[in-house]
Chain A
Amino acid sequence: MIKIAVYGKGGIGKSTTVSNLSAALAQKGKKVLQIGCDPKADSTISLRHGKELSTVLDTIRKKKDNFTLDDVMCIGYQGVACVEAGGPIPGLGCAGRGIITALEKLEKKGIYDVVKPDIVFYDVLGDVVCGGFSMPMRSGYADLVYIITSGENMSIHAAANIAMAIDNFKGRGYAKLGGIILNHKNVKSERAKVEELCEDIHSQIVGELSFSETVQDAEPMKKTVIEAFGTSKMAEEYRKLADKILSRQG
């Protein structure tokens, strides 16, 4: 089982990218589990065509421990198992602690044994803002972390922070940094800026995604690019990135 956590600044395209990677790998016959680790609970929306899905934390709130995996998981496009950790009531509680509880509960309910995934994606909220959001990179969860960034300064700063968190945790048996995914926003000197980031954090660009209207066209259809525009150039880029990530995991 390959376990990958994907981090990056809010709005950079993590969920879109991860969902397309899941769809691409599922098309190749891989069993994929995608766990959204964001209180917004919209990571898997394009894989499940907008179909309602109760989040793990909402379910715990309503049913305490009396629930099954079927209550919090649905099977989306090409058999991708979709789960959303969810979060507390907006403005209250602790979102980070919520992620820890959700991931621990899923493990206790035996999700990895039941789904038997070849690949698990943890799609994690913007930045490692507190202990809870480091959970997907802790021992027993992801093996590698990929950071998505564009050439925008805020996105690069977020990526640097995430890389710093990973570096702080060395010696704890946490996930290692797998590399940077450059999601182009067509800003000036974009590649050079991200290459500079890579140099600073001793990493490398493992894949690039173009700024494309195809992605925006797929969104209102509540589908991934892989499903909606499977023969497009963009779909090909996602497939190429999926292959690259798979090959890097050995």
Chain B
Amino acid sequence: MKQVAGLISTYSSDEFGICSALYELGGMVVMHDASGCNSTYTTHDEPRWYDMESMIYISAISEMEAIMGDDDKLIHDVIETAQQMKPKFIALVGAPIPYMIGTDLKAIAAVIEEETGIPSFGLEANGMNGYLSGISMAFDAIVDRFCKKEVLKSTQTKVNILGATPLDFSLNGSIDSIRRWIKNIGMQTGACFAMGSSLEELSKAGKAQVNLVISYGAMEIAKKMEEEFDIPYVVGVPVGKLFAATVEHCLKESLETGKSQVVCQKYKADIRSEKKAAIIGESVYATSLAGEIEQQYGISCEVLCPLETEEMILRSMDKQTPEEDDLMEALEGMDIVIADPLYKPLCPKKASFYPLGHIAFSGRIYENKIPDLIDREFEETGGLR
């Protein structure tokens, strides 16, 4: 059956992708949704919720407000709260109800900005698309409103990290590991979109010489920054030792040539095993992991991507598998399956299943079992064995 998930979970929505991407930036993020809908985000999808403050709000739109198209209450509530909280920006986030009644969040944001003087934008999420499109919308708005083309580049080689959210990387230290790895290869981390960097740091992203895209959610801003700021991008996560070395090589090559590249299209696989492995997940991370496994263990790896992505990121053998049925078919004959534990019901009986938790899919259930694989031999991690 198409568009039915009978055995598996579903991914986090675009609404929550936006919240996750903007969480640390000091802005006021307002989901224009019925009260209660935000608890899925706060309870399941946002591991920072209890330890880090953020101005995430819900408008609690009521049935009659939706029927009558009463935008004034939203405008009034947001202005009143913003005047108290003094956020650095205001993001109005769409949801199924405003989507269906055609609420013009961009126009409402313009009214709020006029009244408060605080940069405001409307993000047209609808709760029916995946989290990556939400991350993409949020980052795009930040680049549009706050980042400028810097004429003076940094004197040291700076790399922006694009696509960091707990939805893809949890809070297991992976992003810190990427920062350390960048330092170890003789470069500096510029802005990190958007974990561990302030809005002010993000606004200076134009100073960097190269962008490292670690999730498909950042692909659009990577392309935008290439076009508008002349910053080339490299797509890949430095997982494992051998793939991290390939990412390093690509970063240095792009710095020299000014050309963008996708790392998983660049490494040489050394297939020594007859076994076949499948990795299910976000395309940039999964193809990077596949690259490490093929180089390190000689096992052929096929990426099955249920999420938004594009052809240039996937290798020839990889597949987009948006439906549960597609996944089940693609998994037939696999010896090894690496995926979030909630995918286990789809795993063929004879195949070995290696759990790799993904917050965007299973929330915080397996939060403590997501290994930091950055620049490490997998044996060290205690995760993939």
Contacts and interface: CB of A to CB of B under 8 A. Distances in A.
Interface of A: 94, 96-97, 100, 130-132, 134-135, 138-139, 169, 171-174
B36 interface: no
B126 to A, nearest CB: 10
A151 B107 CA distance: 34
21 contacts: A94-B100, A97-B100, A97-B101, A97-B102, A100-B102, A130-B102, A131-B101, A131-B102, A131-B103, A131-B104, A132-B102, A134-B104, A138-B104, A139-B107, A139-B110, A171-B114, A172-B108, A172-B110, A172-B111, A173-B110, A174-B107
B117 interface: no
A130 B69 contact: yes
A89 to B, nearest CB: 16
A94 to B, nearest CB: 6
Nearest to B102: A131
B2 to A, nearest CB: 12
B224 interface: no
Given A130-B69, A131-B69, A172 B104 contact: yes
A173 B102 contact: no
B336 to A, nearest CB: 33
A32 B69 CA distance: 34
B106 interface: yes
Given A130-B69, A172-B111, A96 B102 contact: yes
A96 B102 CA distance: 8
Contacts of A174: 107
Contacts of A132: 102
Interface of B is mostly: helix
Interface string B90-126: 0000000001111110111011001000000000000
Contacts of B104: 131, 134, 138, 172
Contact of A171 (B100, B102, B111): B111
Given A131-B101, A134-B102, A173 B69 contact: no
Ranked 7 nearest A-B pairs via Cβ: A131-B102, A172-B107, A132-B102, A131-B101, A100-B102, A171-B111, A97-B100
Nearest to A96: B102
Contacts of B106: 139
Given A94-B100, A131-B101, 16 more contacts: A96-B102, A97-B99, A97-B101, A97-B102, A100-B102, A131-B69, A131-B102, A138-B104, A138-B107, A139-B110, A171-B111, A172-B104, A172-B108, A172-B111, A173-B107, A174-B107
Contacts of B102: 96-97, 100, 130-132, 134-135
A131 B99 CA distance: 10
Nearest to B72: A168
A130 B101 contact: yes
Contacts of B103: 131
B76 to A, nearest CB: 14
A96 B101 CA distance: 8
Contacts of B100: 94, 97
Nearest to A104: B124
Nearest to A139: B107
Contacts of A135: 102
Contacts of B99: 97
Contacts of A97: 99-102
Interface centre among A131, A134, A135, by most chain B C-beta atoms within 10 angstroms, is: A131
A123 B174 CA distance: 54
Contacts of A96: 101-102
Contacts of A173: 107, 110
